[in-house]
Amino acid sequence: MSAGLLDIAGLNRHFPIRNVWGRRTGWLRALDGVSLSIARGEILGIVGESGCGKSTLGKTVAGIHPPTSGSVHFEGHEIATLSPSAGRAVRRNLQYCYQDPGASLDPRWKIGRSLEEPLIVHTDMGGAERRARVLETLRAVNLPERHLELYPHEISGGQQRRVGLARILMLRPSLVILDEPTSGLDVSVQAVVLNLLLELREKFDLTYVFISHDLSVVRLFSQRIAVMYLGRVVEIGATEAVFAAPAHAYTQSLLAAVPIIGGRRVVDNFVLEGEPPSAGNVPAGCRFAPRCPRADGRCRAEDPPATMMDDGRLVNCHHPAG
């Protein structure tokens, strides 16, 4: 794995499972050996079913969840093992955009105060300089100055998304983790938000990790895509290569479920049966084997290694397609 802006190796995040008496009875393996690299300036999409670990990955990289083990290198710093104070200094360049930005804004604060707060905490800017930064960033997300005097409940959901983006841009980060940035929005508003994200990327030289369950949006927005299943990345590669010829059976099942109008699906008549196993009781061998139509005895006994495809994709499968 080549050095990039962000390099993750063997990252684990396990949550304790406790009984009614508070005793630990096992571990929920939300992240289980995740490794990937993100180059400066690229957009990496992360997709998968609910509960696959994609949001946990974003929050663990951002420091919201401490990692159980593994390494996270960001801009040359190993941030997984830093002290809280040192971690905050490094992570000011790594920002996490919550799925519900309205919930991340203090309802008692006006928008102007919410935008200025990161500068007060993390910089030594004076009042005039902070005000100038707030106005510049507000204009960048296409919101009028009068919004500074409003409270979060006084603006729409789409405007709250813009305020959330403005808030994480106040510190001029190099990497932004976007967790479902278009969920719950009308299609027309989704298009506005996506175009705004692309404009901000050019203006502020941003790198994005784009977490979403909407494969159609991910295909349009991302340059590479990582497919997660039960705490692991099972396929990662260039977006068009993955969509054109998915190699992992799980990726095939996701693409077969994408609704289309006319045309022909890349994967047709692929029926995925059953529910994902519990992350607290991961099956032996390939964790997708209980649901995979190609699974054999080897799949149920051996954990598949990462296989390099001819087009550079990495696939964790004993029998990759193509």
DSSP calls for 101-140: TTTTS-TTS-HHHHHHHHHHHH----HHHHHHHHHHHHHH
Which regions of the chain does DSSP assign to beta strands (E)?
6-18, 24-38, 43-47, 69-74, 77-78, 94-97, 175-179, 207-211, 224-229, 232-238, 306-308, 314-316
User: What is the CATH number assigned to the segment(s) 6-93+173-316?
Assistant: 3.40.50.300
CB 180 within 8 A of CB 47: no
Tell me the helices (H) and strands (E) count for the chain, helix number first: 10, 12
Q: What pLDDT score was predicted for residue 136?
A: 94
Domain residue limits, the chain: 6-93+173-316, 102-172
At residue 251, does pLDDT exceed 50?
yes
Task: Classify residue 68 by its DSSP letter.
Answer: S
At 143-194, the pLDDT tens digits run: 999 999 999 999 988 888 899 999 999 999 999 999 988 887 788 888 888 9
Strands 232-238 and 224-229: antiparallel
Letter for the amino acid at 113? R
Q: Can you give the pTM of this predicted structure?
A: 0.90
Q: How far is 51 from 44, CA to CA, in rounded Å?
A: 19
